[in-house]
């Protein structure tokens, strides 16, 4: 009986040299080998008569060998092996380069199966370097759906297939799923699923195996996430109590909170009052008002004598948040600090970094806003109880957790990139999620148009009219400098063209990632103050920038951006009571059929677009799944019902058996996985 944990180098057919190659693929044990799944299957189940073969086609032939010979060529000193083969319809020559041993392997008068590309040489058809396999009861390399594996140099498909097939035939994999789940979901057993996925008899059995292995990935992730969540709930944290004056603070706001803002705030206030660290995701469409929820949460922490910090991915956004909070908390007696790579301020006044850090350490500063600068080792907090991260996907797992370790602080992450429901239920199951589904009153939906090149002049005229009415314009380009290879507009070239040829009478700014932080801040402030009518920018403008007077967004090379990013760009306009517009320009001749561009034109709902984006691109690493310790190879998360059912099964097990002691095989599988949040 084989031990699934047997080291790969100890296995028959492997040995030290091949073990070294397999380890490059992440295969270190027999179990790793059996679960090293094919990336595709090649259909070699149908044979073609030799007499019907055509040049440049990949064909599968069953034929008898008439003759075999090997010889050295004069021209390139290569060893050439030729085999003439025949079936009832005709003959053809097979050719291999530098494989002289084949003259001993391929026996005359024996039937083999050959699979390869048909080429034309000296007006005669031949099979070049075909895969070959002698006819037997069960084929491995031909005459079936043949597995194709990811490889590394010096390891061949034939070698890997032979090794895997050898052990699949000798091992019975144990079943870890409860029989009631197998029955309810109509799943094949684990042993059948693995063996069939490697070497399926048909597309039907392959589909059944795929269904089982996809369920495994989703279900096991659900278990891991739920265990992580339960473990978090036994960690002590600072409780932040609700105060009566919070309602008064909300009443004093210059606007009324939407219903979803009120609901989300209540969710967070409830979280903060619990004795274990909150882990909530606040997701809301662009312009839905996440910042005020963050501000009120930090205000509540400060009123409890607890420090709060807000991390933002850019200096421009940090500065924007800081100014908003200063205005909101002007008369509340709360010290508010800003710390970025180039700026350190307390209550609006510039101070030295050392002064700011000292006041954080003493606890005098209750609210700190900043960039990655707040994560530096020198920065220390006296009593940090709440961390809010804006656009949390811009911060690494290690960066987020380094702060959260202080007092096991409550964590609220914010994103304007809505998460599809299947991902929310699976990959983000350790998070409590609040959604802002409404836009503030008075906002008018943005009109989005796909614009062809002949319409460019009329679009420029429209822009000019908007600016005459006092409005402002964003122009987004995908690159900083010209690239003839890509053929897309660069931000510098577009800036020159608009400044000199199209709008020479207007003041135009240029913004991109290569500018120094102080330059970026200055240009952004000029645009906010309407000293610039047009801002030409790269994707640095994507997150959080708030200029209510801007009503037009032009996106050049729109096909080069993802759907979520296009929606983020569009969200830079439409932030006032003025009608706003988004014009999508593309040089791609297939623009009209581009699914992302059609989706962005047809919908302004970020949650709806997130679902479409998942459908178009798949989950992949779109939402940081690799960084978070997940790695789906089979599952696609496209079926909400399966995700919901698998979560219910996982909840039933974890709620009744948190340590999985009653499910030892499942426990072994879960414990063998890497941590969900990599430390």
User: 313 and 397, same structural domain?
Assistant: yes
Q: Is the pLDDT of residue 304 over 60?
A: yes
pTM over 0.75: no
Residue 81, domain CATH:
2.40.50.140
Give the per-residue pLDDT at 575.
83
Q: Is the pLDDT of residue 267 over 60?
A: yes
Please state, in angstroms and rounded to a whole number, the distance separating the CA atoms of residues 272 and 291: 17
User: 587 and 472, same structural domain?
Assistant: yes
Secondary structure (DSSP) of 132-163: EEE--SS-SSSSSEEEE----TT--HHHHHHH
Q: How many domains does the chain have?
A: 4
Q: Is residue 327 part of a domain?
A: yes
Range 259-265 average pLDDT = 95
Q: Which range has the worst mean pLDDT, 32-41, 359-368, 432-441, 612-621?
A: 612-621
Indicate the pLDDT class of residue 458, thresholds 50, 70 and 90.
Answer: very high
Please state, in angstroms and rounded to a whole number, the distance separating the CA atoms of residues 30 and 6: 6
User: 390 and 460, same structural domain?
Assistant: no
Share the mean pLDDT of the chain. Answer: 88
Residue 486, domain CATH:
3.40.50.300
SS3 87: strand
Distances (CA, A) of 31 to 251, 355, 668: 61, 57, 12
Residue 485: phi and psi, rounded to 5, are -65, -45
Q: Which range has the worst mean pLDDT, 61-75, 281-295, 435-449, 605-619?
A: 605-619
Extract the tokens encoding 353.
């970094």
Give the per-residue pLDDT at 572.
87
| pLDDT tens per residue across span 67-80 | 999 998 877 778 99
Q: Is the pLDDT of residue 640 over 60?
A: yes
User: 478 and 350, same structural domain?
Assistant: no
Q: Is the pLDDT of residue 426 over 80?
A: no
Q: For helices 157-168 and 190-198, give the axis angle rounded to 10 degrees.
A: 150
| pLDDT tens per residue across span 142-171 | 999 999 999 999 999 999 999 999 999 999
Cβ contacts of residue 101 below 8 Å, gap of 6+?
none
Q: Is residue 185 part of a domain?
A: no
Extract the tokens encoding 360.
């954080």
Of 252, 574, 602, 558, the closest CA to residue 416 belongs to 574
Distances (CA, A) of 226 to 220, 431, 644: 10, 10, 14
Please state, in angstroms and rounded to a whole number, the distance separating the CA atoms of residues 441 and 262: 14
Token pair 């979520």: residue? 564
Q: Is residue 65 part of a domain?
A: yes
Of 658, 678, 655, 679, the closest CA to residue 670 belongs to 658
| pLDDT tens per residue across span 79-125 | 999 999 999 999 999 999 999 899 999 999 999 999 999 999 989 99
User: 326 and 463, same structural domain?
Assistant: no
Boundaries of domain holding 658: 214-233+644-670
| pLDDT tens per residue across span 650-663 | 999 999 999 999 99
User: 563 and 654, same structural domain?
Assistant: no
Give the per-residue pLDDT at 181.
97
Please state, in angstroms and rounded to a whole number, the distance separating the CA atoms of residues 20 and 37: 19
| pLDDT tens per residue across span 181-202 | 999 999 999 999 999 999 999 9
Of 596, 556, 566, 601, the closest CA to residue 453 belongs to 556
DSSP state of 664: H
3-state secondary structure 387-435: EEEECHHHCCHHHHHHHHCHHHCEEEEEECCCCCHHHHHHCCCCCEEEE
User: 428 and 320, same structural domain?
Assistant: yes
| pLDDT tens per residue across span 511-534 | 887 888 778 878 888 998 999 999
């Amino acid at each position: 009986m084989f031990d699934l944990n047997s080291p790969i180098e100890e296995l028959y057919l492997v040995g030290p040299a091949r073990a070294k190659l397999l380890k490059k693929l992440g295969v270190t044990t027999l179990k790793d080998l059996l679960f090293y799944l094919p990336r595709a299957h090649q259909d070699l189940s149908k044979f073609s008569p030799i007499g019907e073969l055509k040049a440049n086609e990949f064909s599968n032939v069953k034929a008898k060998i008439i003759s075999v010979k090997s010889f050295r060529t004069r021209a390139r000193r290569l060893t050439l092996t030729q085999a003439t083969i025949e079936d009832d319809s005709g003959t053809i020559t097979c050719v291999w380069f530098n494989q002289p041993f084949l003259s001993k392997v391929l026996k005359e008068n024996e039937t083999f199966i050959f699979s390869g590309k048909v080429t034309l040489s000296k007006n005669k058809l031949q099979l070049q370097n075909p895969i070959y396999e002698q006819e037997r009861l069960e084929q491995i390399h031909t005459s079936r759906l043949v597995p194709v594996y990811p490889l590394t140099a010096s390891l061949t498909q034939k070698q890997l297939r032979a090794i895997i097939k050898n052990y699949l035939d000798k091992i019975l994999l144990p079943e870890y799923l409860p029989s009631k789940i197998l029955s309810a979901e109509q799943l094949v057993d684990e042993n059948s699923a693995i063996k069939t996925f490697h070497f399926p008899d048909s597309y039907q059995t392959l589909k059944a195996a795929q269904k089982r292995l996809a369920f495994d990935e989703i279900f096991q992730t659900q278990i891991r996430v739920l265990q992580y969540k339960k473990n978090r709930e036994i960690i002590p944290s600072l409780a932040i109590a609700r105060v009566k004056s919070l309602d008064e603070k909300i009443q004093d706001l210059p606007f009324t909170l939407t219903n979803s803002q009120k609901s989300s705030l209540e969710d967070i206030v409830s979280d903060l009052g619990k004795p274990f660290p909150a882990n909530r995701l606040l997701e809301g469409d662009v312009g839905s008002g996440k910042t005020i929820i963050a501000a009120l949460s930090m205000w509540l922490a400060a009123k409890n004598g607890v420090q709060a910090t807000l991390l933002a991915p850019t200096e421009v956004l940090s500065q924007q948040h800081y100014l908003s909070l200063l205005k909101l908390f002007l008369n509340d007696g709360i010290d508010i600090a800003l710390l970025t790579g180039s700026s350190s301020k307390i209550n609006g006044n510039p101070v030295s970094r050392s002064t700011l850090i000292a006041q954080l350490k003493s606890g005098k500063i209750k609210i700190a806003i900043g960039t990655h600068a707040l994560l530096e080792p020198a920065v220390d907090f006296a009593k940090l109880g709440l961390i809010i991260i804006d656009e949390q996907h811009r911060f690494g797992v290690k960066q987020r957790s380094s702060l959260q370790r202080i007092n096991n602080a409550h964590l609220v992450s914010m994103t304007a990139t809505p998460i599809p429901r299947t991902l929310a239920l699976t990959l983000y199951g350790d998070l409590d999620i609040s959604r802002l589904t409404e836009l503030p009153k008075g906002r008018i939906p943005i009109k989005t148009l796909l614009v062809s090149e002949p319409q460019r002049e009329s679009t420029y005229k429209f822009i000019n009219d908007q600016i005459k009415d006092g409005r402002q314009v964003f122009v987004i380009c995908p690159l900083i400098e010209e690239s003839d290879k890509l053929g897309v507009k660069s931000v510098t070239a577009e800036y020159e063209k608009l400044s000199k040829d199209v709008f020479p009478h207007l003041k135009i700014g240029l913004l991109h990632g290569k500018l120094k932080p102080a330059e970026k801040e200055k240009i952004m402030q000029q645009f906010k103050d309407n000293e610039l009518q047009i801002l030409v920018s790269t994707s640095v403008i994507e997150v959080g920038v708030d200029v209510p007077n801007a009503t037009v967004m032009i996106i050049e090379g729109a096909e080069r951006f993802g759907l979520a990013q296009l929606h983020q760009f569009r969200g830079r306009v439409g932030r006032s009571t003025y009608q706003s517009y988004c014009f999508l320009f593309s040089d791609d001749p297939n623009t009209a059929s581009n699914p992302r561009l059609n989706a962005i034109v047809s919908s302004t709902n970020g949650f709806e677009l997130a679902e479409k984006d998942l459908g178009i691109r798949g989950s992949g690493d779109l939402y940081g799944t690799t960084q978070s310790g997940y790695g789906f190879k089979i599952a696609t998360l496209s079926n909400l019902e399966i995700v919901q059912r698998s979560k219910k099964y996982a909840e039933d097990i974890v709620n009744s058996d948190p340590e999985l002691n009653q499910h030892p095989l499942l426990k072994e599988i879960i414990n063998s996985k890497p941590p969900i949040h990599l430390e």
